[in-house]
Homo-oligomer: A and B are copies of this chain.
Amino acid sequence: MTTRPSGRAADALRPVSIETGFARHAEGSALIRMGGTEVLCAASVEPRVPPFLRGQGKGWVTAEYGMLPRATHSRGPREAAKGKQSGRTQEIQRLIGRSLRAVTDLTALGEISITVDCDVLNADGGTRCAAITGAWVALRLALEKLVRNRVLARVPLTAQVAAISCGLTGAGPVLDLDYDEDSTAAADANFVLTETGGIVEIQGTAEQAPFSQAQFEALLRLAQDGTTHLFAAQRAAVDAALAARSDAS
């Protein structure tokens, strides 16, 4: 068993930071950095819902995902120029939307839509997980604004949600894969969890040989421990943003 390319311990996250307010026009925004991965999450509020929900008194939360062409080691084609979003992009944005809806009380939200755009500015592995963790902060801040503006009586969130990837590598089961680890791992899994220990989404994939139940459970334990730091970072970012707004008023 070897050490990780980054020298990190198996259960160590990369340095995490969450900066709010970067997208100046958005009702809530968070620029999340996890090591070399950097994702801008911007929540937009609209006072209407998609056709399939109209007249039901319920709201909607959805997400879109994109990657700047040169967020990656070598430039990728611009999806707008190719004229379609890749299967990977659609898979990721569906995952982010489901994760946010799993902790939102859509009935309490009422006939309001919130779209969280997650755009990767720099990529070094784990972009979908960083997007989920940051998107929750953007969503929370947008909902706080609706409360401040007396559109909502309270923030209709039932939990915090955050995500992290784990994988089976030459260094054994490890937490928070960077690009180098991700591209060579024998298996990887993305875990979307709540701060109360609940599982929102699990996506595990054998990239080479099938893996065992025991291996899978080791990855889940790493994720459960690792996300506690993400939940703390979310709370700190939200608290700081709310304090700043409060000072301003």
Residues of A in contact with B (beta carbons under 8 Å apart): 22-26, 29, 36, 40, 42, 44, 46, 64, 66, 68-75, 78-91, 93-94, 98, 102-103, 115, 117, 119, 121-123, 158-159, 189, 193-194, 196-213, 216, 220
Contacts and interface: CB of A to CB of B under 8 A. Distances in A.
Given A80-B82, A121-B121, 4 more contacts: A23-B121, A23-B122, A199-B204, A200-B210
Contact of A212 (B88, B98, B197, B203): B197
B209 A71 contact: no
Given A102-B210, A199-B210, A199-B211, A64 B69 contact: yes
For chain A, what secondary structure do more than half of its interface residues adopt (helix, strand, loop), or is it mixed?
A: mixed
Contact of A40 (B72, B80, B121): B121
B117 A69 contact: yes
A117 B68 contact: yes
Given A80-B85, A198-B210, A46 B75 contact: yes
